[in-house]
Chain A
Amino acid sequence: MNILNFMIPIALFLGLCFLAAFIWSIHSGQLDDTETPAHRILIENDKHEENI
């Protein structure tokens, strides 16, 4: 059972990492608008550079 003493903190740590990532994603506004980005991927990037 010693292996558990090692693995449980790791499992919890990984879980915390995901939780942190989730909170970060909310704060950075990733879930504010779930529709527009799906369309934005279709926009060609090259055009922007031409305009600059």
Chain B
Amino acid sequence: MQEDYRYLDLEQFRSLYRSLQNPQKMKFFIEGIKCSKCIDKIESIKLQSSDIKNIDVNLSNQTAEVELRSAHLPFAQVASEISRLGFRPIPILSAEDNEDNWRLEAKKDLIRIGVAGFCAGNIMMFSFAIYFGLHGPMKTYFEYLQFALYLPVLTYVTWPFYKGFISGLKQRSLSIDGPMAIASFIGFAVSSWNLFRGTGSIYLDSTSGFLFLILTTRYFQKSTRYKYLKFLRPTSLAESMKARLKTENSWKWVRSDSLKPEDILIIKQGDWLPADGFLVSEQATVDLSVLDGESMPRRLQRGGSVRAGSRLLSEEIEIRVTKSGTDSFLGKLLSSVVIPSISETESSHISNLASQVLLVIVLSVAALVLISGFFYDFESQFERAFALIVLACPCAMAFGTPLAFSFSMKRAQEKGIIIKSAKVFESLANVNDLFLDKTGTITDKHWSIVNSSHKDADNYFKQLILCLEAASQHPIAYALRDNWSDLQIPRNFKLEDLRDLPSGVSGIINGTPYKFYSYIEQTEKWFGLFQNEKLIWKFQMKSALQNEAKQVVENLRALGKKIYLVSGDSVEATQAVAQELQICPSMTHAQLTPEMKEALIKSNPNSLMIGDGVNDTLALNAATVGIAVKGGVDIALKSADVLFLNNSISSLPELFHIADIARKQIRRNLIIALIYNTLGGIAALLGLINPFVAALLMPVSSLFILLSTWWGTRK
């Protein structure tokens, strides 16, 4: 299937996609890149045209960056050439692409680490010679070499710490960068003082070695974090930016945010729908997997409503736009939930608070000791204060926590659990009320017809129901379309006066009034088709529990959690599931609208909601921890904190387990650091540890934390 990429060369689209730094560059996400052959295939396109300066394929990101010789040359040609080879290039919105920024930052960090490593390594070599008894003029020579090698550390390497310290002070908080900046500076001050007067120790070796270690662990954290952010790249959004607007005898490309209601769009096979609307053509099959994770295609009949973000699987269709841009379902979804979930993520952690308190204590005690030095033995008090700052600085405490988080997030990812922010680990500890959404979360997505009143119901009945339900987005309507996908609505059916009933629809088909709705007969839910108010066909529909659901609920109960069942479905259907899971009726809530679910969650602080990535966005966003079991990664993570890639709640106990381990590890790290800092601090104050040993012990504590974290979260 050949796609049309000519839109890439229209100015309105170019400005969206091409690189902000270099207008000759455009980056594509390439669907279908798997192996080295693919790299070669795509990159050798550049040999075919002199317009192309370079094509750079990145296998781990599945992207290709195309650079042309001039900004006015066409990109469409390259894109269609790539698609001719059997790949699907999707242009990446330049505003959404954070890779360039990350690369730039990573480069700066790596160079800083390189310089720190070079200086620290050499300083240590010289200091080792001194430990092993070097003396005389050679010792002084080595000390001056250390001094010279420390100058870049003091300025260039410590720079981000100074910056962090000062910006922390501006916000009236003590940043953890503070003690590092102070240690680096005081270490240098004391060492140079000792160097110039010719006696006393030099602490430059361990100060620089420590800074090197801290920088390295920080880089490690940042890159783990970035690897998560990569998931958030919204390709589905980029895809629905383009629309084919019908013109008098053909169509033209326009941007979907410039569409107006009543515009007629042409959608070709494989296209993403750019706006909400109604189907003008006879029928269509669409894939909604990006929106709700449902992999089964949906069939729609004429007049059926379609949503932006779905993908057309069948032949070319026409739709009439009702809503576009930010008014569309997809647009609303993305804009309504983005802001709160992002602003919440960077909240402060317990350990941050603990290290803040410790920092204040350590710094004020050190200051007191230093002041007392002015009245009594300045040098020894100075050394004690310095040893205290170096040894009791809560660096290990501060980095133990993010380290445990990154290790745990990585582990969760290996198990198919994508976690948006580390905050989840902490929130999970306080969560006692679990709200499970019934449909699709703990029951299977597919309904089947049972207990039909006619063994082989007449196709005519089914066609009548399909005609009545053609425009419906209700899950039952989808289920019926799936079940009867071999049927079509006959052309001579004329539907008039379509109305919504409380639990169904009514309409007049070819002059005869019909109703199709669900009703209760002997506590069971039935669906009935009525002709002239007379029942002509009835049947029941069932959706089965997911296999693991029962086991999972039992496991969670064993953890002491209260389980609630919520559903938009009828009371009976919900109660039936609740009974099977042994959830008492008072904890079962049925017939809830998305807004009611949200209100219910809001009235229960510390709640966990697990549900659909799309229908439940409001509730997921309101919950302390929202877990999506369906939906494309980009959309699900806009509203939820966690996404289960395997679309099943069986990951929930696993998530609790991982969070538990993460918290235990953090506590262990905190305790190790606290004991270490307290003992060390006391020893330093008593003058038992000189600044040099203190500075040497400091990286040891960080190393200890690193090993402990690695060990604690390894499985």
Q: Which positions in A face B, CB cutoff 8 Å?
A: 1, 4, 8, 11-12, 15-16, 18-19, 22-23, 26-27, 31-36, 39-40, 42-43, 47-48, 51-52
Contacts and interface: CB of A to CB of B under 8 A. Distances in A.
A contact face: mostly helix, strand, loop, or mixed? helix
Contacts of A18: 118
Contacts of B122: 11-12, 15
Nearest to B137: A1
Contacts of B145: 8, 12
Contact of A27 (B36, B47, B58, B107): B107
B36 A40 contact: yes
B36 A26 contact: no
8 contacts: A12-B145, A18-B118, A31-B106, A32-B103, A35-B60, A36-B57, A39-B35, A40-B36
B138 A1 contact: yes
Interface size class of B (residues with CB under 8 A): 20 to 34
Contacts of B350: none
Contacts of A23: 111, 114
B44 A39 contact: no
B600 interface: no
A51 B39 CA distance: 16
Interface in B71-123: 103, 106-107, 110-111, 114-115, 118, 121-122
Contacts of A47: 40, 44
B47 A33 contact: no
Nearest to A27: B107
A4 B35 CA distance: 53
Nearest to B126: A8
B58 A40 contact: no
Contact of B107 (A12, A26, A35): A26
A8 B145 CA distance: 10
A26 B60 contact: no
B450 interface: no
Given A19-B115, A43-B36, 17 more contacts: A1-B138, A11-B125, A15-B122, A19-B114, A26-B111, A26-B114, A27-B107, A32-B103, A34-B60, A35-B59, A36-B39, A40-B39, A47-B40, A47-B44, A48-B44, A51-B48, A52-B47
Contacts of A12: 122, 145
Contacts of A32: 103
A35 B36 CA distance: 10
A33 B58 contact: yes
Contacts of A19: 114-115, 118
Contacts of A11: 122, 125
Nearest to B118: A19
Nearest to A31: B110
A33 B61 CA distance: 9
Interface in B118-147: 118, 121-122, 125, 138, 145
Interface string B540-582: 0000000000000000000000000000000000000000000
Nearest to A22: B114
B114 A51 contact: no
Contacts of B118: 15-16, 18-19
Nearest to B142: A8
A33 B409 CA distance: 23
A43 B40 contact: yes
B66 to A, nearest CB: 15
The 9 residue pairs across chains A and B that have the minimum distance between CB atoms: A39-B36, A35-B60, A36-B59, A43-B40, A51-B47, A19-B118, A42-B36, A22-B114, A33-B58
Nearest to A12: B122
Contacts of B40: 40, 43, 47
A51 B59 CA distance: 23
B34 to A, nearest CB: 10
A45 B367 CA distance: 67
Nearest to A42: B36
Contacts of A35: 58-60
Contacts of B121: 15
A46 to B, nearest CB: 12
B133 to A, nearest CB: 13
A4 B142 CA distance: 11
A6 to B, nearest CB: 13
B44 A36 contact: no
A4 B39 contact: no
Interface in B52-69: 57-61
Contacts of B115: 19
Interface string B36-52: 11011000100110000
A39 B39 contact: yes
Nearest to B57: A36
A12 B39 CA distance: 41
A51 B43 CA distance: 12
